[in-house]
Amino acid sequence: DQQVKQNSPSLSVQEGRISILNCDYTNSMFDYFLWYKKYPAEGPTFLISISSIKDKNEDGRFTVFLNKSAKHLSLHIVPSQPGDSAVYFCAASGGYGGSQGNLIFGKGTKLSVKP
Amino acid sequence: SQTIHQWPATLVQPVGSPLSLECTVEGTSNPNLYWYRQAAGRGLQLLFYSIGIGQISSEVPQNLSASRPQDRQFILSSKKLLLSDSGFYLCAWSVWQGDSPLHFGNGTRLTVT
């Protein structure tokens, strides 16, 4: 049973517009959420995270929103750039040291930003 | 700054052959270390993690094993590879503290033929 779901395997957006990547989770014990970006033949790169005590975290063009009641988080990229084209993974953790690596990953969403 | 090195980048091995993938971290002490695998069409799956030298926890039963002979060295091994072992293997590290992200290496593409 998938605990972290990214229901859209792909997303295509025009350059300059907003990209919205969605993620749903089922485990109410998750309290730390992350987004990773992955280019082909490379390891994932950490992008942004959010703790369950917050509902929004912003870093430059990237904003993550968390809706705990809906068990839903989203990543907004504004404005989208061609270099943002990559696979984006959502991940969740139950927290506390030592088990931070026990991140549960979604299957990823491939974002294509067209010039 | 911290860096993570993983090698080789690609590997083609016949079924039944042994495997050894190595990962080292620089610029930090006593990191948590992890091995993940991404199989085709799937997300990232945690295989092993280690909180210290000689301390290995396995998340998924399989014919793979992991070892941590030194503080910043993590090795993934197999005595006999199966076709189903093909995938993209990623080493990662994190610090031992509250909410902190994982930092991944560039991965090893393993093809078992």
Q: Does B103 touch chain A (CB under 8 A)?
A: yes
SS3 category, B84:
helix
How many beta-carbon pairs below 8 A join chains A and B? 67
Higher pLDDT, B55 or A2: B55
Which chain B residues touch A43 with a CB distance below 8 Å? Answer: 6, 90, 92, 104-107
Task: Find out whether A38 and A87 touch, Cβ atoms under 8 Å.
Answer: yes
- B5: pLDDT strictly greater than 50: yes
pLDDT tens-digit readout, B56-100: 988 777 889 999 999 999 999 999 999 999 999 999 998 866 667
Mean pLDDT of chain A: 91
Which residue from B minimizes the CA distance to A6? B43
Can you tell me the distance from the alpha carbon of A38 to that of A96, in angstroms, rounded to the nearest whole number? 25
**Looking at residue B85, what is its pLDDT?**
93
Can you tell me the distance from the alpha carbon of B25 to that of A99, in angstroms, rounded to the nearest whole number? 19
Q: Give DSSP secondary structure letters for A84-95.
A: G-EEEEEEEE--
- A96: pLDDT strictly greater than 80: no
Please answer yes or no on whether B46 and A101 come within 8 Å at the CB atom. yes
SS3 category, B83:
helix
- Contacts (Cβ under 8 Å, ≥6 apart) of A99: A93
A77-81, B40-44, B102-106: least confident range: B40-44
- Contacts (Cβ under 8 Å, ≥6 apart) of A40: none
Please answer yes or no on whether B99 and A51 come within 8 Å at the CB atom. yes
Q: Convert B73-108 to b/e letters by CB count within 10 Å (16 or more is b).
A: ebbbebeebeeebbbbbbbbbbbeeebbbbbbbebb
**Looking at residue A1, what is its pLDDT?**
66
**Looking at residue A101, what is its pLDDT?**
56
- A99: pLDDT strictly greater than 60: no
Which chain B residues touch A32 with a CB distance below 8 Å? Answer: 99
**Looking at residue A94, what is its pLDDT?**
75
Mean pLDDT of chain B: 90
pLDDT tens-digit readout, A15-59: 999 999 999 999 888 888 999 999 988 899 999 999 999 999 999
At A98, the pLDDT band (50, 70, 90 cuts) reads very low
**Cβ atoms within 10 Å of A38's Cβ, excluding its own:** 22
Distance from CA of A5 to the nearest CA of B (A): 10
Can you tell me the distance from the alpha carbon of A9 to that of A7, in angstroms, rounded to the nearest whole number? 6
Please answer yes or no on whether B102 and A101 come within 8 Å at the CB atom. yes
- A102: pLDDT strictly greater than 80: no
**Looking at residue A95, what is its pLDDT?**
54
Chain B, residues 27-66, CB within 8 A of chain A, namely: 32, 34, 41-46, 49, 51, 59
Which chain A residues touch B94 with a CB distance below 8 Å? Answer: 100-101
Can you tell me the distance from the alpha carbon of A44 to that of A86, in angstroms, rounded to the nearest whole number? 10
- Contacts (Cβ under 8 Å, ≥6 apart) of A57: A48, A49, A50, A63, A64
Can you tell me the distance from the alpha carbon of A104 to that of A50, in angstroms, rounded to the nearest whole number? 15
Q: Which residue has the tokens 């917050």?
A: A54
User: For residue B92, which phi and psi values (nearest 5 degrees)?
Assistant: -145, 160
